[in-house]
């Protein structure tokens, strides 16, 4: 027998399948060690076959690493599928297995735990401990509430304290296979009886098949529906995967699932240590856990017999990996749902235009929950025209209106969230007096301001204009804005409301592991009155005392050089607004804008997703953007500017030739990227518009072209519908 093996060699372009003589017992999915030149790298057996493809002398597999194949047959097929989407085999298997499992065998999962000796009476023993043995007393007390992992205890207590308690026979150390389950809040989540709307949706999912799009407003009880669907899957002996954006994996969410599914749920997210991730992965692989809850990468949960796959907040951009290996979570979800015959549910209060379009066309079954559970109302949205503030001499970040509303919320002992969306790099130019923003005449997207050479550029066609100092519409001559990040907002907030306790949440304040959980927990415990932050505060959180949400500059997402900017703005506003008035208290949202007449505000204000969608889809059709086309960007990187440019131009010529021969290509642009150099690499790109149905006809050829041009110091990366065109 011959085994085809994917060899995991890093720093190499080798991504081929190699033939080896199969030793006894080798099966597809086995991890093996193989001789490879002078190395003995690890590999995964893809399949077995009778005879080799060439008559080279073959070497034999050296060793099988696990008793049973670790990679399920489904994942071997998935690797083939992802290969067609331009991923390398080696990268696929990296996604399929936690890092710890590569380059080693599964470790024993036993861990040392410390327990209270069940034979001792806590109260009397505690009383006997010397008051001077502070650490011993504290630890003994803490353990009375439940066992802890030794390593965790040793982070906070001295080894001497532990030893003293063990010597006194008050506590016991035991190695247990019980795994540490990542933290979650202990909430007693009572199971709700589904409302009529929830029941209708649950029934439709149970009776129906294929893919569903659940469009439910914030607070409509989607989570309860998801849990119901998962329960049904478990009842019929199946398993389930639930994906949420990383940022929504709040302790609250974890607690909810833990309360409902106990140890049957495994949690996967980027905050886990390697060891924890391996533990959780193993529990899923062995079937000990039947529900995987996690962010994007949890779509690769090694579950068998999957009955339901749920993608919550499906519009969220975190579902598209933006660095290598690049993949669309929805592609993988569709593959796995089909393979397993599972129900696939995409849910959102603001579905992506592309998903909703699929629902309209009947590719997805559309399910709707237009109202909040119980009597909770959606908050009232108000726009404040910031141009008027400028006219009346107020150039600060807060409008007079917002200041009044914050004061009144604070006086009523309620909490406030202030949201400022901010992204680094370049931004747009805007007239604060009339709201004018320069756009690309050809591409209908806003131009991006580039400070280094004072130009305005289109990130799609590369058009470049000299920047302007004076507004061509109203003549206002102070177009440049100072920095207005969250730090500045925090400062301003403290200055305006000195009596309020303010917390800030953004990339800077959440670098440390668990920092964002700490901030949210503090806010929930009412240790602060105002939470200032970026996107991070927009999603999923449920604070009952928040009555006011302020959106400091609602336009920021609107003027990204991106065809999705209106969609993103609508989604952001709706999500942020969803944070207010979640419980009995009524909520209010104040949106500050320089373009109050933009259609996005009209629809956002009345929560009219459908109206927004109709408008947006018409615009996309006219301007030929997705879903009516697909945009493929071929990014060429090199330390030599000339080589990067030549590769891009060379590829563009070839693509033009493909078009000549009838390939469904609509438009080709070659240009220097908007950011022309990142680190030492010059960046050129070819942007190719193709017909939306043309992916299979065009993309493999483009990927091939990219590989051909990835040589001599040039690397080419292909991306479909890139999230940003920088």
Give the residue numbers of the binding site for Zn(2+).
Answer: 431, 434, 440, 443, 458, 461, 471, 474
Q: Which stretch binds Zn ion (CB under 5 A): 120-128, 165-173, 247-255, 451-459?
A: 451-459
Identify which range of 90-98, 190-198, 367-375, 462-470 contacts Zn ion by CB under 5 A: 462-470
Binding partner of residue 222 among ligand ADP, Zn ion, none, CB cut-off 5 to 8 Å per kind: ligand ADP
442, interface contact from ligand ADP, Zn ion, none, CB < 5-8 Å by kind:
Zn ion
Instruction: State the binding string over 402-441 for Zn ion (x if CB under 5 A, else -).
Output: --------------------------------------x-
User: Exposure string (b/e) for 550-574, b if CB count within 10 Å is 16 or more?
Assistant: bbbbbbbbbbbbbbbbbbbbbbbbb
Among 7, 458, 528, 637, binds Zn ion (CB under 5 A): 458
Q: Is residue 216 a contact residue for ligand ADP (CB under 6 A)? A: yes
Does residue number 629 form part of the binding site for ligand ADP (CB under 6 A)? no
Of the chain, the end-to-end C-alpha distance in Å amounts to 50
Nearest residue to 381 via CA among 617, 244, 528, 569: 569
Taking CB under 6 A as the binding criterion, the range among 4-12, 48-56, 219-227, 290-298 that sits at the site for ligand ADP is 219-227
Q: Which is nearer to ligand ADP, 373 or 536 (CB)?
A: 373
Binding ligand ADP (rule: CB under 6 A), the pick from 192, 338, 495, 614 is 192
Edge-first strand listing for the sheet containing 171-176: 148-149, 111-116, 171-176
Q: How far is the CB of 293 from ligand ADP (least distance, A)?
A: 14
- Cβ proximity to ligand ADP: between 367 and 671 the closer is 367
Q: At its nearest, how many Å lie between ligand ADP and the CB of residue 443?
A: 35
Q: Does 220 bind ligand ADP (CB under 6 A)?
A: yes
Q: For residues 469 and 477, is the Cβ–Cβ distance under 8 A?
A: yes
Minimum separation from the CB atom of position 219 to ligand ADP (A):
4
CA-CA-CA-CA torsion for 121, 127, 133, 135, nearest 10 degrees?
Answer: 50
> Closest distance between ligand ADP and the C-beta of residue 199, in Å?
9
- Residues contacting 502, CB < 8 A, separation 6+: 490, 493, 494, 528, 529, 530, 531, 532
592 binds, among ligand ADP, Zn ion, none (CB under 5 to 8 A by kind): none
* DSSP calls for 141-188: HHHHT--EEHHHHHHHS-HHHHHHHHHTTSEEEEEE-PPPPPP-----
DSSP codes of every residue in 215-283: EE-TTS-HHHHHHHHHHHHHHTT-EEEEE--GGG--HHHHHHHHHHHGGGEEEE-TTS-HHHHHHHHHH
Segment lying near Zn ion (by CB under 5 A), choices 320-328, 442-450, 467-475, 604-612:
442-450
Which is closer to ligand ADP, CB of 94 or CB of 585?
A: 585
Q: What is the DSSP string of 69-117?
A: -SS-HHHHHHHHHHHHTT--HHHHHHHHS-GGGTTSPPPP--EEEEEE-
* Binding residues with ligand ADP: total (CB under 6 A): 16
Question: Where does residue 282 rank: exposed (0-12), middle (13-18), buried (19+ CB within 10 A)?
Answer: buried
Measure the CA angle with vertex 490, ends 484 and 493; round to 5°. Answer: 105
Interface with ligand ADP, residue 580, by CB under 6 A: no
Binding window for Zn ion (CB under 5 A); candidates: 27-35, 45-53, 233-241, 459-467: 459-467
Cβ neighbour number for residue 82 with a 10 Å cutoff: 22
Which listed option, Zn ion, ligand ADP, none, makes contact with residue 373 (CB within 5 to 8 Å by class)?
A: ligand ADP
DSSP H or E segment with residue 17: strand 17-21
C-beta closer to ligand ADP: residue 192 or 423: 192
Candidate segments 28-36, 220-228, 360-368, 479-487, binder of ligand ADP by CB under 6 A: 220-228
Please confirm whether the linkage preceding 533 is cis (ω < 30° from 0).
no
Question: Is 574 near ligand ADP (CB under 6 A)?
Answer: no
Write out the two tokens for 158. Answer: 């001295």
Q: 641: which strand partners?
A: none
Sole binder of ligand ADP in the list 29, 41, 69, 221 (CB under 6 A): 221
Least gap, CB of 724 to ligand ADP (angstroms): 27
Residue 239 CA to residue 230 CA, distance in Å, equals: 8
Closer CB to ligand ADP, 224 or 719, in the complex: 224
In terms of C-beta density within 10 A (0-12 exposed, 13-18 middle, 19 or more buried), how is residue 102 classed? Answer: middle
Told to check if 222 binds ligand ADP by CB under 6 A, we report yes
Give the separation between CA 316 and CA 568, rounded to whole angstroms. 9
The closest alpha carbon to 580, from 406, 386, 333, belongs to 406
194 near ligand ADP, rule: CB under 6 A = yes
Q: Which of 224, 246, 389, 616 binds ligand ADP (CB under 6 A)?
A: 224
User: Under DSSP, is residue 359 helix (H, G, I), strand (E, B) or coil?
Assistant: helix
- Does position 493 bind ligand ADP by CB under 6 A? no
CB of 725 to Zn ion, least distance (A): 10
CA distance 452 to 426: 10
Question: Binds 722, which of ligand ADP, Zn ion, none (CB < 5 to 8 A, cut-off by type)?
Answer: none
CA 667 vs. chain centroid, Å, equals 31
Tell whether residue 41 is a contact of ligand ADP (CB under 6 A). no
- Binding residue for ligand ADP, selected from 182, 184, 219, 626, defined by CB under 6 A: 219
And the tokens for 264?
């049957």
Given 136, 211, 223, 669, the residue binding ligand ADP (CB under 6 A): 223
State which of residues 135, 434, 461, 697 lies at the interface with Zn ion (CB under 5 A): 461
Structure tokens that stand for 357 in this block: 């379009």
Assess 218 for contact with ligand ADP (CB under 6 A): yes
Task: Report yes or no: 312 and 222 within 8 Å, Cβ to Cβ.
Answer: yes
* Residue 461 site contact among Zn ion, ligand ADP, none (CB < 5 to 8 Å, cut-off depends on kind): Zn ion
Cβ atoms of residues 161 and 141 within 8 Å: no
- Determine, following the binding rule CB under 6 A, whether residue 201 of this chain makes contact with ligand ADP: no
**Contact track, ligand ADP, 360-379, x by CB under 6 A:** -------------xx-----
Per CB under 6 A, the segment of 221-229, 337-345, 360-368, 432-440 that binds ligand ADP is: 221-229
> Alpha-carbon distance 211 to 359, whole Å?
9
Verify binding: residue 442, Zn ion, rule CB under 5 A. Answer: yes
Give the DSSP per-residue string, 487-549.
HHHHHHHHHH-TTS-EEEESTTTT-STTHHHHHHHHHHTTS-SEEEESGGGTSS---TTEEEE
Residue among 384, 443, 577, 665 that touches Zn ion (CB under 5 A) = 443
**Cα angle value 125/131/137 (rounded, 5°):** 55
**d(C-alpha 414, C-alpha 588), whole Å:** 12
Min dist CB 117 to ligand ADP, Å, is 40
Shortest gap between Cβ of 440 and Zn ion (angstroms)? 3
Q: Which residues are part of a known binding site?
A: 431, 434, 440, 443, 458, 461, 471, 474
Instruction: Report the interface residues with ligand ADP, using CB under 6 A.
Output: 192-195, 198, 216, 218-224, 373-374, 542
Residues lying near Zn ion in the complex (CB under 5 A) are found at: 440, 442-443, 458, 460-461, 463
């Amino acid at each position: 027998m011959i085994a085809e093996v994917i060899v995991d060699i890093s720093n190499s372009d080798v991504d081929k399948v190699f033939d080896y003589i199969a030793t006894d017992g080798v099966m597809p999915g086995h991890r093996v060690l193989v001789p490879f030149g002078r190395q003995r790298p690890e590999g995964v057996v893809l399949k077995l076959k009778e005879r080799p493809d060439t008559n080279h002398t073959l070497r034999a597999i050296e060793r099988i690493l696990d008793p049973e194949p670790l990679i399920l047959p489904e994942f071997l097929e998935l690797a083939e599928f992802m290969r067609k989407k331009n991923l390398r085999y080696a990268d696929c298997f990296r996604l399929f297995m936690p890092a710890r499992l590569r380059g080693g065998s599964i470790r024993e999962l036993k861990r040392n735990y410390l327990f209270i000796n069940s034979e001792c009476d806590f109260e009397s023993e505690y009383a006997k401990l010397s008051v001077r043995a502070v650490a011993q007393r504290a630890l003994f007390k803490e353990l009375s509430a439940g066992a802890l992992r030794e390593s965790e205890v040793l982070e906070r207590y001295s080894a001497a304290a532990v030893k003293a308690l063990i010597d006194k026979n008050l506590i016991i150390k035991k190695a247990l296979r019980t795994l540490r389950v990542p933290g979650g809040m202990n909430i007693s989540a009572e199971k709700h009886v589904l409302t009529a709307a929830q029941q209708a949706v649950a029934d439709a999912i149970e009776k129906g098949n294929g893919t569903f799009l659940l469009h439910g407003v914030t607070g409509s009880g989607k989570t309860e529906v998801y849990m119901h669907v998962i329960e049904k899957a478990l009842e019929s002996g199946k398993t389930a995967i639930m994906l949420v954006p990383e940022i929504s994996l709040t302790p609250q969410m974890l607690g909810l699932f833990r309360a409902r599914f106990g140890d049957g749920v495994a949690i996967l997210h980027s905050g886990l240590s390697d060891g924890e991730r391996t533990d959780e992965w193993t529990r899923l692989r062995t079937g000990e856990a039947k529900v995987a809850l996690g962010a994007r990468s949890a779509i690769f949960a090694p579950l068998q017999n999957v009955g339901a796959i749920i993608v919550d907040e499906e519009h969220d951009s975190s579902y598209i990996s933006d660095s290598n290996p690049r993949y669309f979570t929805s592609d993988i979800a569709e593959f796995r749902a089909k393979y397993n015959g599972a129900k696939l549910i995409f849910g959102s209060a603001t579905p992506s235009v592309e998903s909703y379009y699929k629902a309209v066309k009947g590719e997805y079954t559309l399910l709707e929950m237009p109202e909040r559970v119980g009597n909770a109302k959606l908050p009232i949205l108000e726009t404040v025209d910031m141009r008027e503030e400028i006219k009346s001499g107020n150039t600060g970040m807060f409008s007079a209106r917002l200041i009044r509303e914050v004061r009144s919320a604070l006086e009523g002992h309620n909490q406030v969230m202030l949201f400022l969306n901010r992204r680094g790099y370049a931004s747009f130019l805007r007239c604060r007096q009339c709201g004018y923003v320069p756009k690309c005449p050809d591409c209908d997207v806003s131009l991006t301001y580039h400070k280094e050479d004072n130009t305005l550029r289109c990130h799609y066609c590369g058009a470049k204009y000299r920047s302007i100092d004076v507004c061509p519409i109203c003549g206002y001559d102070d177009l440049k804005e100072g920095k207005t990040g969250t730090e500045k907002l925090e400062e301003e907030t403290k200055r305006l409301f000195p009596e309020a306790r303010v917390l800030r949440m953004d990339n800077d304040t959440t670098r440390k592991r668990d920092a964002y959980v700490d901030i949210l927990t503090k806010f929930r415990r009412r240790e602060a009155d105002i939470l200032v932050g970026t996107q991070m505060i927009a999603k999923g959180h449920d604070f009952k005392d928040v009555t006011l949400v302020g959106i400091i500059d609602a336009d920021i997402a609107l003027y990204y050089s991106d065809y999705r900017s209106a969609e993103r703005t609508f989604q952001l506003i709706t999500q942020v607004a969803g944070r207010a008035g979640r419980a009995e208290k009524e909520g209010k949202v104040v949106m500050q804008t320089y373009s109050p007449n933009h259609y996005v505000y009209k629809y956002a204000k009345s929560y009219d997703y459908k109206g927004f969608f109709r408008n947006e889809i018409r615009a996309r059709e006219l301007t030929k953007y997705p879903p009516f086309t697909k945009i493929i960007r071929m990014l060429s990187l090199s330390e030599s500017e000339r080589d990067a440019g030549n590769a891009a131009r060379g590829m563009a010529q070839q693509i033009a030739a493909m078009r000549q021969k009838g390939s469904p290509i609509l438009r080709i642009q070659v240009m220097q990227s908007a950011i022309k150099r990142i680190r030492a690499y010059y960046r050129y790109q070819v942007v190719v518009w193709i017909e939306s149905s043309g992916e299979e006809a065009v993309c493999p050829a483009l990927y091939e072209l990219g590989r051909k041009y990835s040589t001599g110091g040039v690397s080419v990366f292909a991306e479909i519908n890139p999230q940003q065109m920088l």
